Structure 1
Amino acid sequence: MPRFFVERANGDNITITGDDAAHISRVLRMGIGDDLIVCENSTDIEHFCKIAEIQAGAVSLLIDRSQHSAAEPDVKVHLYQALPKADKMELIIQKAVELGVCEITPMLTRRCVSRPDAKSLAKKQERWQKIAYEAAKQSGRARIPEVHPVLEYKQAVQQMSESPLTVLFYELGGEKLRTLLQNYPPNISIVVGAEGGFDESEVAYAIEHGIRTATLGKRILRCETAPLCALSAIMFDTGNLN
């Protein structure tokens, strides 16, 4: 069933406008009485609706029933990802959204090779958010994860240190993830490096700010593999892959 997103429903009625309205009427060729799902992005609620009216640039819906989405995990994971080369970030965002990530913040670390200027970053962020949107629709999410602007590493550490649990995945080892996830909090931040991993001074800085280090096993994972492995492990250990 087609899926669309709004911030809030208005009673028993929802109006979809803009590109989504055009997609419903012109691309999907839906008509009066057809069913679709509309998700409240701010509440994780999904509404099962019927089309009541189609006008130029607007589709009016009536809500049949509503429920909290079973697709949203009970743990909110914020991924802090060091900026990789080429288009690897696009893959990371797409798959992280499918796996249940709640937020993504790209960051610049010492070993980041890719360092776009401000104009390029603005364009990239717009594209990244669109990728998150499409991945959320495809995977049946009720929430569109937000892709935040790129932060410098120390800024990111200051921000992530406010999380109840922040785990930096370090190729030189750390604690067992399963141990860290015992009695897990509702919000977890995870931190993954770029192609060259983290500089030792960056790891030390993170530890000084209360961030835990963990390992993903004995093998060295690529920067696009590590966040997906970490998310999968977290979702499994917290019962969100059942």
Structure 2
Amino acid sequence: MPRFFTQTISREGGYITGDDAKHIAKVLRMKIGEELTVCDTKGYDYHCMIESLSDKEVTLKVLSAEESQSEPSVKVHLYQAMPKGDKLELIIQKAVELGVDSITPVMTRRCVSKPDAKSMAKKLERYNRIALEAAKQSGRGKIPQVKPLLELNEALDEMAETSCPILFYENATAPAKEVIDQAGQEIAVLIGSEGGFDESEVVKAKEKGCQVLSLGKRILRCETAPLAALSIIMFETGNMQ
């Protein structure tokens, strides 16, 4: 069944406009009376029937509504040190598929890519579009937000507000399982860029309350590490069953 996101829906009814309305009418060639699933971007799914449509607006009758079954029981916030090229696009796409709640790019000492504010603003629009498309494709009940770039200190302060801030580090030896098993409902994960973390940054993270954990004895690329971390967290919290 086709699946779309809109904020203009409630149990009383709703509508879809813009590119999605055009896609429903012109590409899918759906008709009045056909059914589709609409998500409110906040974790609820609405089973709807089309009451009227054009390439500008589709009006919906809500047949039923329920909390999305595809959303994980744990909120995971990914803080990703800014990688080179288009690697962050891949990380965003796959992290959304794996169930991440938000993604925040972070500037660390060893980041090679150092976009200025204007460049980052343009990138952010594209990043959030990638998150939207990945959420649609993977059947998510919400659209994870890609947030503006932060400096490391700002990121660590935000992470400290969660019940379980974690920095995954190639020189760490502590395994992740025990920490994740006791993590609670909100986890923040910090992953390095191509050059990893400077030792002083790891010390700073510990001072801010981060658990410094290992992803195993192999060195993972910066685009592999966040996906491995998310997979481990989702598995250990029962969200891969």
Q: TM-score, normalised by structure 2?
A: 0.97
Match in the other structure for 1:176:
175
Give the deviation of 1:8 after TM superposition: 5.2
Match in the other structure for 1:163:
162
Match in the other structure for 1:13:
13
The answer to whether the aligner puts 1:140 opposite 2:150 as a matched pair is no
Aligned-residue Cα RMSD (Å) equals 1.0
* 3-state DSSP of counterpart to 1:181: helix
Specify every segment of 5 or more residues in structure 1 that has no aligned partner in the other structure, as ranges: none
- After TM superposition, the structure 1 = structure 2 runs for residues 44-193 of structure 1, keeping only pairs within 5 Å, are 44-55=43-54, 57-193=56-192
Code of the aligned partner of 1:214: L
Give the deviation of 1:69 after TM superposition: 1.3
Task: Summarize deviations over 1:34-67 as a string: whole Å, max 9, x none.
Answer: 111101112x110111101013511001111111
In 1, Cα distance between equivalents of 2:185 and 2:158: 17
Give the deviation of 1:12 after TM superposition: 2.4
Code of the aligned partner of 1:153: L
* 3-state DSSP of counterpart to 2:10: coil
Task: Summarize deviations over 1:190-223 as a string: whole Å, max 9, x none.
Answer: 0000000000010101100111100000000000
Code of the aligned partner of 2:37: I
In 2, Cα distance between equivalents of 1:93 and 1:176: 25
Task: Summarize deviations over 1:65-116 as a string: whole Å, max 9, x none.
Answer: 1111111000000000000001000000000000000000001000000011
Give the deviation of 1:182 after TM superposition: 2.1
Give the deviation of 1:7 after TM superposition: 2.5
Match in the other structure for 2:31:
31
Percent of paired sites with the same residue? 54
In 1, Cα distance between equivalents of 2:9 and 2:77: 26
Match in the other structure for 1:204:
203
Give the deviation of 1:27 after TM superposition: 1.6
* 3-state DSSP of counterpart to 2:48: strand
Q: TM-score, normalised by structure 1?
A: 0.97
In 2, Cα distance between equivalents of 1:208 and 1:73: 30
Of 48-57 and 203-212, deviating more is 48-57
In 2, Cα distance between equivalents of 1:61 and 1:184: 40
**Contact 1:8/1:41, CA 8 A, preserved across alignment:** no
Of 60-69 and 125-134, deviating more is 60-69
In 1, Cα distance between equivalents of 2:207 and 2:220: 25
* 3-state DSSP of counterpart to 1:47: strand
In 2, Cα distance between equivalents of 1:104 and 1:231: 12
In 2, Cα distance between equivalents of 1:185 and 1:124: 33
In 2, Cα distance between equivalents of 1:144 and 1:17: 17
**Contact 2:164/2:187, CA 8 A, preserved across alignment:** yes
The answer to whether the aligner puts 1:240 opposite 2:239 as a matched pair is yes
**Contact 1:90/1:128, CA 8 A, preserved across alignment:** yes
Number of aligned residue pairs: 241
In 2, Cα distance between equivalents of 1:99 and 1:129: 16
